[in-house]
Amino acid sequence: MADSKLTLDDARLYIDGQWLDRSSAAQIAVVNPSTEQVAGHVAAGSSADVDLAVAAARRAFETFSNSTVEERLALLGRILALLEERAELFAQAIVTEMGAAVSFARASHVPYAIAHVRVQMEVLQRYTFLNNEDGTALAKEPIGVCALITPWNWPLYQITAKVAPAIAAGCTVVLKPSELSPYSAQLFAQVMHDAGVPAGVFNLVGGTGEVVGAALASHPDVDMISITGSTRAGVLVAQAAAVTVKRVVQELGGKSPNVFLDDADFENGVAKGVLAGMRNVGQSCSAPTRMLVPASRLAEVEALALAAAASIAVGDPSDEKTAMGPIANAAQFARVQAMIAAGMEEGAKLLCGGLGRPAGLTHGFFAQPTVFSNVTPGMRIAQEEIFGPVLVIMPYRDEAEAIAMANDTVYGLGAHLQSSDLDRARRVAGRIRAGQVNINYPTWNGHAPFGGYKRSGNGREYGVHGLEEYLETKAIIGY
């Protein structure tokens, strides 16, 4: 693969430091969601390919686990430089494979992905792998061979969020990206190769979850598995992994609240909340898609939300003026349409949007930015993850009910909270059962741990907490 060109038909896997041709194996079609046409094909890896990759990673671990911090920092630095150099190539790949608006791919998908590498370098520079206190040493050691399963909605971002800390820790890796948006991973494997990663330290086996994901989860020579995906997929991986007692880190579904206390800045905050909920076409597990507002302010919130949703330009993702491209794939488009229909059937108030494509778009998996109001906690659209540009507005009576509604879900990944009283906001944040709470729309922080309570998963990613998921703790007594 040329480093300056996106290859749409790429039937190769990257194992043990080299590209392996799998053009004679089964191929998976990659559909461009803007056109609904096949853009290209990638190879469907097999369980035998997984065995090859895991064996290569196991061999490489013996040496790489003993590499120095300086050596790993240098490798991460080369990876970082190549990602920055090829940023536009990755942005174009993300437009093709999942339909992200090119402006959003350039502003968020790619730079935030690159930031994960930079953050892990910062963490590694100051991390202490051995602490000795009163004759007992605590050693932090790489856990081993790590299987990394990444999703289609943030394809490059989730790769670097896992690969960077694994490399920083001294682990070796087998990556299984989503077969629905695989091009970012193919380009990333080339970056790893060109950065001089030692053979076997990084391996890429594309394919389906049913074949490649299942083989990795149950593999006896895989020490740890990290998956970002649906709660259903996370459960299946954990069940398969349990037999070999490997560590399982899961970043799964969400139904995140955005709680507006009565002293919030509604004029600015509601519009920001709509855009946050529909960011990445609503295809983010932490998207704040439940807007909880005082009942007395409901009419005002509805008017502000309607205006914000109407301002979103939906269309061709390659057009720099486009704010929102299509849903990333056919199955998810069908899911979003079904959930919009469910909201209408359940009697929620449809403020804007609804079923079908936006006016003027005759093909592609485009959905209308949709806002429901007067949504009650028992409705499906209040409980189930929709994963599309659908926001629900839920009125509450008082602060106690707002907190109860915020926590009334099987998920607990993220939450947003709006208030002009910081002390009050801190107190309420402490009562929200979620792994990350954002007060008044703070800037993204790559060092802040990310992960969920309840059915949103186990473990944490990003920053030092992300690094430590790839480490074992050894106590040496009498050191």
Q: Give the residue numbers annotated as catalytic, written as ranges.
A: 251, 285
- Contact between residue 361 and residue 309 where contact means Cβ atoms under 8 Å apart: no
List helix spans (H) across 251-410.
Answer: 266-278, 298-310, 330-345, 380-383, 399-406
CA-atom Rg of the chain in angstroms: 22
- Contact between residue 364 and residue 344 where contact means Cβ atoms under 8 Å apart: no
- Contact between residue 413 and residue 435 where contact means Cβ atoms under 8 Å apart: yes
User: 302 Cβ partners below 8 Å, 6+ apart?
Assistant: 351, 373, 393
CA distance 175 to 182: 11
Three-state DSSP at 20 gives: strand
Quickly tell me which residue has 């473990």 as its tokens: 459
CA distance 274 to 262: 18
CA distance 200 to 174: 9
Reading the block at residue 37, the tokens are 């046409």
- Contact between residue 137 and residue 130 where contact means Cβ atoms under 8 Å apart: yes
Reading the block at residue 5, the tokens are 């060109």
Closest CA to 382 of 397, 398, 395: 395
Closest CA to 304 of 402, 401, 371, 358: 371
CA distance 251 to 148: 12
- Contact between residue 156 and residue 188 where contact means Cβ atoms under 8 Å apart: yes
Quickly tell me which residue has 């299984």 as its tokens: 176
CA 354 to chain centroid:
26
Q: Letter for the amino acid at 272?
A: K
CA 439 to chain centroid:
21
Reading the block at residue 199, the tokens are 């053979």
CA distance 45 to 189: 15
What is each CA distance from 475 to 42, 139, 168, 169, 472, in whole angstroms?
45, 6, 21, 18, 10
* Backbone angles phi and psi of 327, in degrees to 5: -60, 150
